[in-house]
Amino acid sequence: MIQRQQNARLAIFDCDGTLVDSQADICAAMDAAFVAAGLQPPERNDVRRMVGLSLPEVMRRLHPAGAGAEQNALAEHYKDAFRARRAAGMVGEPLYDGIAALIEELALAGWLLGVATGKSDRGLAHCLEAHGLSGHFVTLQTADRHPSKPHPGMIEACLSATGAAREAAVMIGDTTYDMAMANNAGVRAIGVDWGYHHPNELVEAGAEAVAGSMGELRLLLRGME
């Protein structure tokens, strides 16, 4: 646990679709998972819509006709496929333009930074390390240790770890799951339009604003300072 800071501002970022554009890797691993199970892969847009949820929840939604054991097997196939792609040097997960500079600016301005993601602990660590961002985040919450979004557990853990007040915390994400999670936790919610759900959906799910660019996101966060 980090040292609690009075009046600290806390920015909690989603990862896939917010920090990095991982859709190509996720869709490829999902195709491989379904093929390994002898099933027709889902439409890629359906997969994109699920990004941000925990893997078991994703498989329940993408293969609702399957029994629990089948869905669990699909999740394991997905993990195997993603690891194989990473070992082969095929995982890209590029940062969105400007996000690294924004993270550095926020850290220098005294913000506490966290991540709340449907990724695994290992997947998130690989992603942040690959982009040299690990040192900027003081709390990392993943689907390995919490219920799937939109359950507020990950945000609650971020608040507990940092000591930040709810009114000084904001969740930044690209999906309705992120916005609903923020609302469920009683923190502010800011959407970004470069991810996987439409801006109108984010507003309907509780976003107070949706940034159309990194510059707009920067201004929205400065409004909290």
Q: What is the pLDDT of residues 113-125, one digit of tens each?
A: 999 999 999 999 9
Question: What pLDDT was estimated at residue 7?
Answer: 74
Rounded to two decimals, the pTM is 0.95
Is residue 33, in this structure, part of any structural domain at all?
yes
Last residue of a domain, one of 40, 67, 87: 87
- To the query of whether residue 178 is one of the catalytic residues in this protein, the response is no
Considering the domain architecture, whether residues 33 and 68 belong to the same structural domain is answered as yes
Residue 1 in domain: no
97 & 79 share domain = no
Measured in degrees and rounded to the nearest 5, phi and psi for residue 209 equal -160, 160
Check whether residue 122 and residue 190 sit in a common domain.
yes
Let me know whether 185 and 138 are in one domain: yes
Q: What's residue 6's pLDDT? A: 57
Count CA atoms closer than 13 A to 32's CA, side-chain side: 16
CATH value at residue 50: 1.10.150
Residues 103 and 78 placed together within one structural domain of the fold = no
Whether 134 is in a domain gets the answer yes
**Residue 11: closest CA among 219, 168, 207:** 168
φ, ψ of residue 206 in degrees (nearest 5): 120, 5
Query: Residues 116, 169: one domain?
Result: yes
- Structure token pair of residue 179: 């916005």
Point out the catalytic residue in the list 14, 16, 21, 178.
14
> Strand 209-211 relative to strand 188-192: parallel, antiparallel, unpaired?
parallel
Residue corresponding to tokens 């913000």: 111
Domain presence at residue 138: yes
Query: Do 97 and 145 share a structural domain?
Result: yes
pLDDT at 5: 57
Task: From 58, 87, 116, give the residue that closes a domain.
Answer: 87
Strand partners, 112: 10
Q: Are residues 178 and 189 in the same domain?
A: yes
Q: Are residues 131 and 169 in the same domain?
A: yes
Is the pLDDT at 4 greater than 70, yes or no? no
- Tell me whether residue 175 is in a domain: yes
Average pLDDT over residues 198-219: 98
State the CATH number of the domain containing residue 166.
3.40.50.1000
d(CA 213, CA 205): 20
Tens digits of residue pLDDT in 19-70: 999 999 999 999 999 999 999 999 999 999 999 999 999 999 999 998 889 9
Q: CA-to-CA distance for 11 and 32, rounded, in angstroms?
A: 35
Q: Which domain holds residue 189?
A: 10-21+93-222
Number of domains the chain contains:
2
Do 75 and 160 have their domain in common?
A: no
Judge whether residue 140 has pLDDT over 60.
yes
Q: Are residues 201 and 217 in the same domain?
A: yes
CB 181 within 8 A of CB 158: no
Phi, psi angle pair for 189, to nearest 5°: -130, 125
- What does the pLDDT look like over 7-33, one tens digit per residue? 789 999 999 999 999 999 999 999 999
CA-CA distance, 11 to 188, in Å (whole number)? 10
Same domain, 159 and 170: yes
